[in-house]
Amino acid sequence: MQLKKSILATTIALSMGLLTACGGSDSDSSPDPAPVNSAPTDVVLSDVTVDENTANAVVGTLSAVDADSGDTHTFTVAGDQFVIEGTTLQLADGVILDADGAESLELEAELTVTDNNNASFTKTVTITINDVMDRYTFDSKLIDGDSSVSYTGQTGRHVLIAELNNYIKNQLEADVDDGKLADKAAVIAKLNYFYSPDKDTEYDDIAITFIDNSKDGLLSDITGYKSIKEKVAGNDTGGQHEDWNNGAFAGWGAKGSTTPTDLIADLFNRLADNAVAKINGGVRKDVLGEDITKIYVDENGVDLAQLIQKFLLMSVAYSQSSDDYFGVDTDGKGLTTDNTGPAKGDASKPYTNLEHQFDEGFGYFGAAVNYLEYSDVEIAGKVADGNGRSDWNGSHDTDADGKIDLRSEYNFGQSVNAAKRDLGSADNAAATDYTKQAMEAFIAGRKLINDNVPQALTDAQLDELKGFAMDGLDAWERAIVATVVHYINDVTADLAPLATGGDTADFNYENLAKHYSEMKGFALGLQFSEYAGISDADFVKLHELMGEEPVLTGDVDGYIAELAEARDILQASYELDADNVANW
């Protein structure tokens, strides 16, 4: 195969040589004397286009033109970009064609057909790469040359949540040991530095440390002042379908006994108490009397770092998207906003209010703009031993400037979980594709909006837009539910050594605490969507079964049974495939 021009293509497996396939009809007799063989006169390809960014993408079916009707034929293709499977021409393993980065949308494949008498015909076919709408990038219809996409505030809060988690897991204990944090007040103040930084004295100095090669060194390089706390469910009341600060919050104690903000404050207090115990020289013990070595792990089987992070991803990111930006029940909010002129009447804005609202909803999903160009392994950050592209492991320097732009080139939070759950079902009969469903829906919805600027959507178009938003949210929510199921399975396995017949020598306390806290943190957030697939009653029951900490003594067998019941509730509520549920 020869390329007319260089084309951006990532080839993982090379040296594949020529692959062959046989086709044609058989003949069980031949005239006597045998006629002179005629060579094939053409090789025909049923289609000459291939979709970009699609692994093993099929081009078309091969057939031969040959005057000898009884001949059989073998097809071969030169080079390492294509292979032939049966009579199908398709991209080779590891070859991904990217129309967005290509100098040409055409490439050439040299095809040869050989008959059973070793006579052959070769020709070169031009194949066109289809430029699929697969990136969340849209030009402004209001200001020529500008992008109309903007969600830096959502990126900023993702960064704050990541920095808070990074600090708790990797720096808090060192600061305690070094005497930088001398008491409980100092610990809580440091946590609030990320959670609710002071606008005048703290915000501008928040460094980006959770990733080594960020394009920006400070959070303030990305966006203006942002706080996590101000967007926790209940604190930003515009558009939310429940009053989370006044009796609606469930899943932690009796319904309405606390609020999302109060829960976070309580978790911060518990973490600070652990720090004070260390400051005072105390050594905390787990259920088996072993030393607890991590400051963020409680004595009751809870990993505070995980619980705080996962609950923030739900009470901020998921809540804001599903209850605000993709909502339809509040005039002037979400999908009901204006699409006819610049946002807030500001002529300098290259986007409409509706474009910006949709962007903000998408921004909280946390996907890179070219999310569909990643494999699930790459999104999940699990590339190893040649199973993906190492430079796409969770992020990719798409603009080739040597740095990762957190606004567009990094996969945050729940966009990563969607890929993990797709990986977990990939070998099952009902494999999920939450990544594809979510991203395609968000792109399609945004394109519908962009195509109509500066005109209001018709009622039919608004209904279509709602459908795209709901499809995206459905995939997002199902990925969350699948993640909860995954951690129910993990917690069940973690508890087996403490159950009847188990060997406590096999018990790993830190793993149990981590898995329980991820399960609980994600599960708490399912209530924040007005479109949730689980009923209020089942949600309350789910959390009664999970509890606020795992059962580590006494009736561990009974608690394992309750976790199975919790899993059954989720399976029934979301009509999940049984094999997926068992294997996530």
Identity (one letter) of the amino acid at 445? G
Q: Are 156 and 222 in contact (CB under 8 A)?
A: yes
Residue 143 lies in a domain: no
pLDDT score of 103? 64
- Site of tokens 């980006």: 208
Identity (one letter) of the amino acid at 37? N
With cut-offs at 50, 70 and 90, classify the pLDDT of residue 19.
very low
Assess whether 304 and 193 both reside in one domain: yes
Assess whether 167 and 125 both reside in one domain: no
Question: What share of the chain in percent tops pLDDT 70?
Answer: 93
pLDDT score of 367? 98
pLDDT score of 385? 85
Q: How many CA atoms are closer than 13 Å to the CA of 437, on its beta-carbon side?
A: 18
Q: How far is 294 from 312, CA to CA, in rounded Å?
A: 21
Residue 530 lies in a domain: no
Q: How far is 518 from 311, CA to CA, in rounded Å?
A: 8
Residue 518 lies in a domain: no
Assess whether 217 and 319 both reside in one domain: yes
pLDDT score of 8? 34
Assess whether 266 and 320 both reside in one domain: yes
Using CA atoms, how far residue 508 sits from 400, 493, 494, 505, 549, in Å, is 43, 10, 7, 8, 16
Which pLDDT tens digit goes with each residue over 180-213?
A: 999 999 999 999 999 999 999 999 999 999 999 9
Which pLDDT tens digit goes with each residue over 264-276?
A: 999 999 999 999 9
Assess whether 195 and 54 both reside in one domain: no
pLDDT score of 133? 74
pLDDT score of 27? 44
Q: How far is 95 from 4, CA to CA, in rounded Å?
A: 17
Find out whether the peptide bond into 33 is cis, omega within 30 degrees of 0. yes
Whether pTM > 0.85 for this model: the answer is no
- The predicted model gives 374-380 an average pLDDT of 96
Assess whether 255 and 328 both reside in one domain: yes
Residue 139 lies in a domain: no
Q: Of 433, 450, 473, which marks where a domain is finished?
A: 473
- The predicted model gives 368-389 an average pLDDT of 94
Domain count across the chain: 2
Assess whether 181 and 42 both reside in one domain: no
pLDDT score of 237? 75
Give the chain's mean pLDDT: 92
Backbone angles phi, psi at 549, to 5 degrees: -165, 155
With cut-offs at 50, 70 and 90, classify the pLDDT of residue 93.
confident
Residue 571 lies in a domain: no
Residue 525 lies in a domain: no
Assess whether 102 and 201 both reside in one domain: no
Residue of 414, 401, 397, 405 whose CA lies nearest to 361: 414
Residue 275 lies in a domain: yes
Residue 466 lies in a domain: yes
Q: Is the pLDDT of residue 2 over 70?
A: no
Assess whether 365 and 459 both reside in one domain: yes
Which pLDDT tens digit goes with each residue over 535-580?
A: 999 999 999 999 999 999 999 999 999 999 999 999 999 999 999 9
Rounded to 10 degrees, what is the CA torsion of 19, 20, 21, 22? Answer: -170
Q: Residue 63: which CATH number?
A: 2.60.40.60
Q: Which residues contact 77 (CB under 8 A, 6 or more apart)?
A: 1, 18, 19, 83, 84, 89, 109, 110, 111, 112
Q: Is the pLDDT of residue 349 over 60?
A: yes
Q: Is the pLDDT of residue 12 over 70?
A: no
Q: Are 64 and 44 in contact (CB under 8 A)?
A: yes
Residue of 161, 160, 324 whose CA lies nearest to 233: 324
Q: Which residues contact 46 (CB under 8 A, 6 or more apart)?
A: 60, 61, 62, 63
Q: Of 95, 130, 165, which marks where a domain is finished?
A: 130
Going across the sheet that includes 88-91, the strands are 42-45, 58-65, 88-91, 82-85
Which pLDDT tens digit goes with each residue over 227-273?
A: 999 999 999 877 788 999 999 999 999 999 999 999 999 999 999 99
> Which residue segment(s) compose the domain that 74 sits in?
9-27+38-130
Q: Of 473, 490, 514, which marks where a domain is finished?
A: 473
Least confident residue range of 31-40, 196-205, 254-263, 332-341: 31-40
Which pLDDT tens digit goes with each residue over 391-417?
A: 999 999 999 999 999 999 999 989 999
Assess whether 163 and 283 both reside in one domain: yes
Assess whether 119 and 157 both reside in one domain: no
- The predicted model gives 482-494 an average pLDDT of 98
Assess whether 79 and 223 both reside in one domain: no
With cut-offs at 50, 70 and 90, classify the pLDDT of residue 10.
very low
pLDDT score of 56? 84
